[in-house]
Amino acid sequence: MDSFDFATVGDNCIDRFLPPISLSLIGGNAVNVGVQLSRLGLRTGYFGVVGHDEDGRRMLTCFRDNGLYTDHVRVLSGTTAYTNIEVDEAGDRTLAFEEFGVCRGYRPSATDMQTLLRMRHVHIGWLDDGGATRRALSAAGVSVSQDISVNAEPANLGIEGLTIAFASAGEDMSRAKDLLHFLHAGGAKTAVVTCGSLGSIASDGTGVESVGVRTLDAVDTTGAGDSFIAGFISEYVFGKDLQTCLAKGRDVAAETCRHVGGFPQQAQSLE
């Protein structure tokens, strides 16, 4: 039997915060969501690939230190993914450059899929498989979520079969409501849209719920959306109402904004 009940699949990367921060941390949608689920007390495995390099070794150590089960992490020759991030005085970040490295082309193996089919819930991060993993899991009745704002390439932008579809509308509530409709029309059971400082909204097709944000002095917003996803999932899988799920997502995201990176970890200097 597997020793974990939840899984995240897909991207990882080294977040390189450019000067004046000049630090590197570990992130990626699938990794950030997985670590936050683990921090919330849910036994979580990570399925992905790292490079056979120093960054890859660093990642594996970090995953284990944060309670992720790593038996399904593959190590391949090549470059571990990395992202160059610029951060302004308000703590908002801009992705200056992304190199997906060995993450590009990653697919869960047949053995991986047999394990994923037994999970209570699976969250898919950035994964360029044309939606194959999502379709296989949903067809088997597995609860599965994905952030379409991360998987935005047309070939991978599938929604049908998702238990929860996440998206971001920036600070545009009108667009957020349009996105809710788009996600439901695409086949998602539950649609969730974050709206920056305006909070977040969610719908299961019978009505729309919303919550505001926590007022705080943000240090960095990197990974806040991923933390929101983890918080939402941690309540949703236990049958909590949408208002409770949104509030949990908000609170976990707010905590992430208090530090640099998607979760607390030992940063390394870029210099």
Reduced to 3 states (helix: H, G, I; strand: E, B; else coil), residue 172 is coil
Question: For the residues of 188-200, what is the DSSP string, one character each?
Answer: -SEEEEE-GGG-E
Burial (0-12, 13-18, 19+ Cβ within 10 Å), 229: buried
The candidate with the shortest Cα–Cα distance to 262, out of 122, 102, 150, is 150
CATH architecture of 11-262: 3-Layer(aba) Sandwich (3.40)
0.85 exceeded by pTM: yes
**Cβ pair 48, 31 in contact under 8 A:** yes
Residue by residue, pLDDT tens for the chain (271 residues) are 578 999 999 999 998 988 888 989 999 999 999 999 999 999 999 999 999 999 999 999 999 999 999 999 999 999 999 999 887 777 677 888 989 999 999 999 999 999 999 999 999 999 999 999 999 999 999 999 999 998 878 888 889 999 999 999 999 999 999 999 999 999 999 999 999 889 999 999 998 999 998 877 777 778 899 999 999 999 999 999 999 999 999 999 999 988 878 899 988 998 6
Q: Which amino acid is at 26?
A: I
